[in-house]
């Protein structure tokens, strides 16, 4: 262990998997004497943990790298210490050494499968530029040190846990199979050990992560292959784990065991993010999604039969190559049929190296934008309708942070909505039953049911 603490700033872009990876990078560097800081300004090492999914996301990295280089120059001019600049994540994997050419000043490029080697790579970067975008044979997760209790506590009562990485689906628009590689599942024993440690350190909610999380097929303690349903059931048994979630799923991998888990596990939150991308069978075919709109609707019916109180979320792409007005209308139609609680929608972005980028009939930017605008208006209407339907209901909220104002605490509903409550005596990490009183633009507002009961009885006594 080095004696002088060095400061590390990691900025993550993209999906939750990157958020998890960023935490693990900090864990990997803690034994080297690195402590995390909230800004690049006083950091000795900055890691940009990047996303390659859409052009805009990838381009953002280069402007940020420009700023980091300026910061280093300024600091040197003022007689300050050095700043090491590293690029990690999916742009690192996709562009590798190209990044060094485009953004001079970068010291180190490290891919999503080799960041457990960060201590060695940083040592090497002292004498020259380093690029490591290997898919190593050694187990990254086994090589990573565990987070300390203090660090876990500081990260809050809701934690991410990656159980599966990579993707073999090859949707024609998507870079993930190239940036994250083939599907790999961690072993059940390794996952359970990590979940137990999280619970022991005060975590109440665990979100199991994977690019294709429901394709999970990890080795079980019995030597057999376990699916996600079975894994959830096992983790639900860990004392202290009050809530479980998983993301992101593919419609093709929702098996019976997983659907049954929605019926049987009270810890599994009644919320499911299940990307559909489009409601047109022709477009779904060209996307290589491997299902039709009717398959998706049937699947939703089956999951809702297992768990009637289910809030649905999804991802959509507008203006995929060849998408006609009719195809787009089919997407709108599917949205009207399902009714979504919250969603993510994007206009199609052609990504180098993906089959869709070379397809004929690319849709003009203006059309992609107009469709996105129309889709988002409908989705926002549905989101607001869902939030409005929660007013008057009682639901358990996991409180995970201070609220916007003094005396307010904030948390998440089972359906992932932010909930603000004004109440004394609620601590971070508490799960409290709350009556929802009103619906703001971005949050629900409520009061703890106990307090409400007390107030009412007091009022009755007065009357």
Q: How many residues does the chain have?
A: 463
- Closest to 186 in 3D by CA, of 215, 149, 146: 215
* Cα–Cα separations (whole angstroms), residue 383 to 135, 225, 340: 40, 38, 7
What does the DSSP 8-state code read for residue 204? -
Query: Quick check: 348 and 52 in contact, CB under 8 A?
Result: no
The residue whose two tokens read 């958020």 is 19
Segment 11-70, which members bind ligand SF4 (CB under 6 A)? Answer: none
**179 near ligand F3S (CB under 6 A):** yes
Reduced to 3 states (helix: H, G, I; strand: E, B; else coil), residue 132 is strand
Residue 89 site contact among ligand SAH, ligand SF4, ligand F3S, none (CB < 5 to 8 Å, cut-off depends on kind): ligand F3S
Tokens of 172: 């024609």
Segment 194-213, which members bind ligand F3S (CB under 6 A)? Answer: 211
Query: Quick check: 118 and 28 in contact, CB under 8 A?
Result: yes
- When the beta carbons of 119 and 353 are compared against ligand SF4, the nearer one is 353
Q: Which span (81-89, 115-123, 169-177, 404-412) binds ligand SF4, by CB under 6 A?
A: 169-177
Distance, in Å, from the CA atom of 451 to the CA atom of 434, rounded to the nearest integer, reads 9
218 forms bridges with which residues in the sheet?
226
Segment 249-268, which members bind ligand SAH (CB under 6 A)? Answer: 250
Closest approach of ligand SF4 to the CB of residue 170, in Å: 6
**54 near ligand SAH (CB under 6 A):** yes
**340 near ligand SAH (CB under 6 A):** no
- Closest to 399 in 3D by CA, of 442, 428, 437: 428
* Cα–Cα separations (whole angstroms), residue 124 to 22, 32, 118, 220: 21, 14, 10, 38
Q: Which span (51-59, 298-306, 322-330, 364-372) binds ligand F3S, by CB under 6 A?
A: 51-59
Query: Quick check: 161 and 20 in contact, CB under 8 A?
Result: yes
> Site for ligand SAH (CB under 6 A): which residue of 13, 346, 386, 399?
346
Residue 177 site contact among ligand SF4, ligand SAH, ligand F3S, none (CB < 5 to 8 Å, cut-off depends on kind): ligand SF4
Segment 173-212, which members bind ligand SF4 (CB under 6 A)? Answer: 174, 176-177, 211-212
Torsion sign across C-alpha atoms 279, 249, 355, 340: positive
Closest approach of ligand SAH to the CB of residue 55, in Å: 8
- When the beta carbons of 34 and 173 are compared against ligand SAH, the nearer one is 173
Q: Interface with ligand F3S by CB under 6 A: which residues?
A: 14-15, 17-18, 51-53, 89-90, 175-176, 179-180, 211
Q: Interface with ligand SF4 by CB under 6 A: which residues?
A: 167, 169-171, 174, 176-177, 211-212, 250
Q: Interface with ligand SAH by CB under 6 A: which residues?
A: 53-54, 173-174, 176, 211-212, 248, 250, 275, 277, 315, 317, 346, 348-349, 351
């Amino acid at each position: 262990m080095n004696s002088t603490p060095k400061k590390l700033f990691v900025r993550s872009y993209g999906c939750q998997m990157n958020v998890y990876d960023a935490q693990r990078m900090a864990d990997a560097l803690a034994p080297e004497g690195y402590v995390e800081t909230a800004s690049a300004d006083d950091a000795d090492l900055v890691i940009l943990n990047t996303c390659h999914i859409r052009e805009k996301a990838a381009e953002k990295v280069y402007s940020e790298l420009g700023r980091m280089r300026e910061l280093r120059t300024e600091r040197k001019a003022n007689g300050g210490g050095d700043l090491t600049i590293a690029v990690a994540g999916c742009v690192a994997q996709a562009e590798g050494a190209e990044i060094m050419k485009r953004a001079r000043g970068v010291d180190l490029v490290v891919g999503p499968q080799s960041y457990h080697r960060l201590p060695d790579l940083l040592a090497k970067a002292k004498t020259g530029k380093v690029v490591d975008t290997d898919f190593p044979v050694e187990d990254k997760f086994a090589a990573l040190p565990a987070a300390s209790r203090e660090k876990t506590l500081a990260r809050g009562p809701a934690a991410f846990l990656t159980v599966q990485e990579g993707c073999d689906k090859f949707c024609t628009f998507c870079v993930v199979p190239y940036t994250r590689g083939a599907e790999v599942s961690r072993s059940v024993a390794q996952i359970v050990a990590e979940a137990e440690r999280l619970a022991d350190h005060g975590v109440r909610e665990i979100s199991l992560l994977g690019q294709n999380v429901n394709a999970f097929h990890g080795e079980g303690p019995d030597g057999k292959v376990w699916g996600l349903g079975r894994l959830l059931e096992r983790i639900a048994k860990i004392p202290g784990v009050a809530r479980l979630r998983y993301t992101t799923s593919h419609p093709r991998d929702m098996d019976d065991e997983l659907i049954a888990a929605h019926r049987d596990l009270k810890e599994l939150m009644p919320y499911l993010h299940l990307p559909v991308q489009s409601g047109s069978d022709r477009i779904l075919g060209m996307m290589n999604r491997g299902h039709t709109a009717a398959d998706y609707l049937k699947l939703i019916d089956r999951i809702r039969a297992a768990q009637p109180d289910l809030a649905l979320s999804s991802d959509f792409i507008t203006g995929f190559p060849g998408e006609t007005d009719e195809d787009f209308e089919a997407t709108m139609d599917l949205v009207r049929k399902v009714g979504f609680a919250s969603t993510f929608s994007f206009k199609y972005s052609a990504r180098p190296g993906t089959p869709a980028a070379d397809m004929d009939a690319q849709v003009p930017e203006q059309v992609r934008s107009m469709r996105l605008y129309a889709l988002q208006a409908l989705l926002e209407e549905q989101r607001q309708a869902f939030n409005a339907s929660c007013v008057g209901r009682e639901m358990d909220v996991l409180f995970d942070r201070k609220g916007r104002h003094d005396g307010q605490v904030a948390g998440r509903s089972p359906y992932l909505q932010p909930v603000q409550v004004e109440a004394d005596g609620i601590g971070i990490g508490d799960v409290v039953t709350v009556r929802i009183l009103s619906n703001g633009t971005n949050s629900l507002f409520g009061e703890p049911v106990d307090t409400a009961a007390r107030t009412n009885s007091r009022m009755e006594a007065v009357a």
